[in-house]
Structure formats: C-alpha cells, structure tokens
Amino acid sequence: MPTFDFDLFVIGGGSGGVRAARMAAARGARVALAEVAELGGTCVNVGCIPKKLYSYAAGYAEAFEEAAGYGWQLGEPRFDWQHLKTQRAKEIKRLNGAYRALLDGPGVTTLQGWAALVDPHTVDIDGQRHRARHIIVATGGMPFVPEFVGREHGLVSDAIFDLEPFPRRLLVVGGGYIACEFASIFNGLGAKVTQLQRKSHILSEFDEDVRQFLAVEMQKAGVDIRFNTEIASIRRGADGLDVMLERGTHLQADAVLFATGRVANTQGLGLENAGVALDDKGAIVVDAHYRSSVPSIHAVGDVSTRMQLTPVALAEAMVVVDALFPDPKQPARRRKVDYEFVPTAVFTHPGVGTCGYTEAGARQKFGDITIFSSEFKALRHTLSGRSERTFMKLVVETKTDRVVGIHMVGADAGEIVQGFAVAMRAGATKAVFDSTIGIHPTAAEEFVTMRVATSR
C-alpha cells in the first residue's frame, strides 16, 4: 500500500482551489493547498471584487449628474484615485484574511510557494516533496496579449487596479467582458476612453441585440468605441504613448489596457512529468467529471476550457469533492455541472445580464422560436436628465413555450437576471412568466408583461 502525506493536494488558492480544499477537509480528509501569491486568486485580488468596487466608484459620476434633476444642488465633485486604491487594497487584504480563516477552520495545511508536479502523486514546493492520493489543479488563467511592436508598453487587467498616475487618456483593446467593463469604469471615473475592437461588434458571445444596444449606450455615456480596428505598434513619445493603428491613423494615450482574452495557467507546473494532457490552447483536458488524462489528477476552474466564471469554478470544485470525499449524508455519485443555463453579467454602465440562449443560438438549437423584446426609458431617467435606455428580451422555444433565453441591458441587470435564472432552470414557460404578477414600479416587471411577440 502506498503511503500518502495527504488525501488531497490542491494547487492554487483561488475560487476553485479554496472551495475544494476547505470542503474536502470539512469532510475529514487530510488536505494541503499551495498558493504562490495571495489567497482568493484572481476573483478576490485582481478580478470580480476589485473590479466591482471600481464599478461602484464609477457609478457615482452618473449619480451626481442625475441628482440635479431631483433637486439636489452639489458642488463640483472631485475624484480621488489614491483614496479609492487605498480603500480597495484594505478590503482585499481583509478578504485574504477571510480566505485564510476558511482554510484554517477545517484544518487545511496551507503552503506558500510555487507548486509543480513531479509524478501523478507527488508535488514539489521549493524542494519539499508532498505525496497525495488525489491532486486538484486549480491554477486559473492569465491575460493573453497578442504580438506586435511595442507590446511592452501595454498593460493587462492585473496591473490596472494600482495604475499610477490615473490615466487621463486610456486606450482599451478588446471587446469582451474585461474591455467593456474597464472602458465603462474609467469613463465613469473621468478618463477619456477609446476602445478598439477588431470585429464590428463587442461581446461576441452575447445576443446580437444586446451587443448593439450596449455599444450605443456606452457611446452615449462617452466611450469612443472604434470597430474593425487593431493596433499595429506602440512607442513612447513626447506626449505619452503613441499608438499606431493598422489603417495608418494614430492615437495618443497615457495607458493602453490589453483585454484580449485569458489563457490557462499550465506553464511550469510539471504537468508533462505526470502525463497530464493539454488541448491546443494549453488548457488541461478534462472529462465531464473534471478528471484529467491521469486518474489521480483533476482540474477545475479557468485552467481547463470551461466558462471562466467564479461561480462555475466553485460548482466544479464541489463536483470533484463530492466524488472524492462524499458527504456521508448524501448518496455517493458522480455529479456533473450543467452549463446550459448559467447566468452571467457584464458590469458595464449600463450593465448586461443574460441567461440561456441568444436568439441565434436558440434558432440553431430549437428551430422555431418566438422573440419578445422591449426598449424603454426607465422611470428613474424621466427626471434624471439622462437619455439612457433599457433593453429586455425573452427567447422562447415555440413548440414547448419554454423561455430559453433572457437578456437585459440596463441598471441592475445582473441582480434582476439572477432571479429569473432560477425560473429558467426550473423550466418556466412564457405562460408562467405571463401569469406572474409584476412588482410595480420596477424595470424588472417588464419581463412578466411583454405580451406581443416581436418576431417568430
């Protein structure tokens, strides 16, 4: 019988890793977790949390503007970037401590350092070897930046939170989640933001109406979005960064943020020593139960090729823990995560909330579909003086009447769609939506009062 130091060794103390380690330990397993940086990973340190805090900060610019329409008279608001950075750092430090407590509580051994595999059951950290029956790789991802001349002058989202000084002119490259969110944030905080997207639309994976609607609203709010545009080179000039675009035009900027996707963190992990297979993008190949090509090694979160979202990493971690260290109160079984109706939000201004299929995706999957959509000025903006509009859309499978897609662009879209996602997972039909009484006056009530189909 081989002897092991631990029942489970988790590499990576981010969303997926911490969840797996603490839940396995709570079920009595001997667990170690290695983290090379701060506990909490991307989401806590350089992702969801600091991003959302900065998004709230940006939102105040709109609130100050709107207040006058409601009778408030304010002086000229001034924004203090240093203060925001300090407050954010304090809160993140508090969260790092909270994550430490989550691991200490059930008795996880936390090891600081870079972990690499030696073989299917052995992990090395700075020359110390640890043997474990099971290993979970949860090393997340990192930003990808394309090759071009002057690439070193660009920055990635990890660095933007502490950028010094505040960029008066910010160029954002990309049209995905991170690009749109940071374009909105820095626009709100007072920077002059230009966003360059290589395609003719932003948010490629989203519903076409959502993409178009959001682009118009972001432009109205002040973001200069340039479509079908790519960077040729960047060099430092007398007036900041001189950015040459592919069609020969120039832009000047104080900082250039590359938000051009993220790739799995699989380099330098010794995966080849253990025989773990990677796909053509360098992500760990896993089956429906997160098993890699090596039986003792699982992988969860951004390091494999699934949706790169914190709640997804958490759900995947729980599936693995349930399989390896079953809850004695539950029947042992190999569960799977169902990715069909995963809600998601883009924290732009205005925000996006979505769950299920886009119109195009639903047409491909279900054939006959019916669309209900609505566009309006929210009550708040009747007095606020802002021209921001709200968009809502339901995609319904005609044959079954099931709502298979919900999409919103507008204030609190993420908060609103989260609730509707429950109904969608429960299989709610359009008739169920119609028979639900609205809450008046809210924007969300529109989702239960759209009676006339826009198209079929």
Q: Which residues make up the interface to ligand FAD (CB under 6 A)? A: 11-17, 34-37, 41-43, 47-48, 51, 114-115, 138-140, 157, 178, 265, 269, 301-303, 308-311, 313
The residue whose two tokens read 């207040």 is 67
43 binds, among ligand NDP, ligand FAD, none (CB under 5 to 8 A by kind): ligand FAD
| b/e map 418-455, b = 16+ CB within 10 Å | eebbebbeeebebeebeeeeeeeeebbebbbebeeeee
Q: Is 238 helix (H, G, I), strand (E, B) or coil?
A: coil
257 binds, among ligand FAD, ligand NDP, none (CB under 5 to 8 A by kind): none
Residue 414 C-beta: closest distance to ligand NDP, Å: 8
Of 340, 303, 298, 302, the closest CA to residue 319 belongs to 298
Q: Residue 44 or residue 294: which is nearer to ligand NDP going by CB? A: 44
Kindly list the distances between the CA atom of residue 183 and the CA atoms of 29, 194, 208, 276, 349, in Å, as whole numbers in the listed order. Answer: 45, 8, 20, 38, 9
DSSP 278: B
Point out which residues pair with 251 in neighbouring strands.
243
440 is catalytic: yes
Q: Residue 56 or residue 376: which is nearer to ligand NDP going by CB? A: 56
Of 144, 231, 193, the closest CA to residue 348 belongs to 193
Q: Residue 120 or residue 311: which is nearer to ligand NDP going by CB? A: 311
Residue 441 C-beta: closest distance to ligand NDP, Å: 28
Q: Residue 120 or residue 261: which is nearer to ligand NDP going by CB? A: 261
Q: Residue 42 or residue 260: which is nearer to ligand FAD going by CB? A: 42
Residues that bind ligand NDP (CB under 6 A): 146, 174-179, 181, 197-199, 204, 230, 259-262, 307-309, 344-347
Residue 170 C-beta: closest distance to ligand NDP, Å: 15
Cα–chain-centroid distance for residue 51?
10
State the alpha helices, DSSP H only, in 208-254: 208-221
Residue 42 C-beta: closest distance to ligand NDP, Å: 8
| 252 touches 237 (CB < 8 A) | yes
397 binds, among ligand FAD, ligand NDP, none (CB under 5 to 8 A by kind): none
175 binds, among ligand FAD, ligand NDP, none (CB under 5 to 8 A by kind): ligand NDP
Q: What residues are annotated to the active site?
A: 440
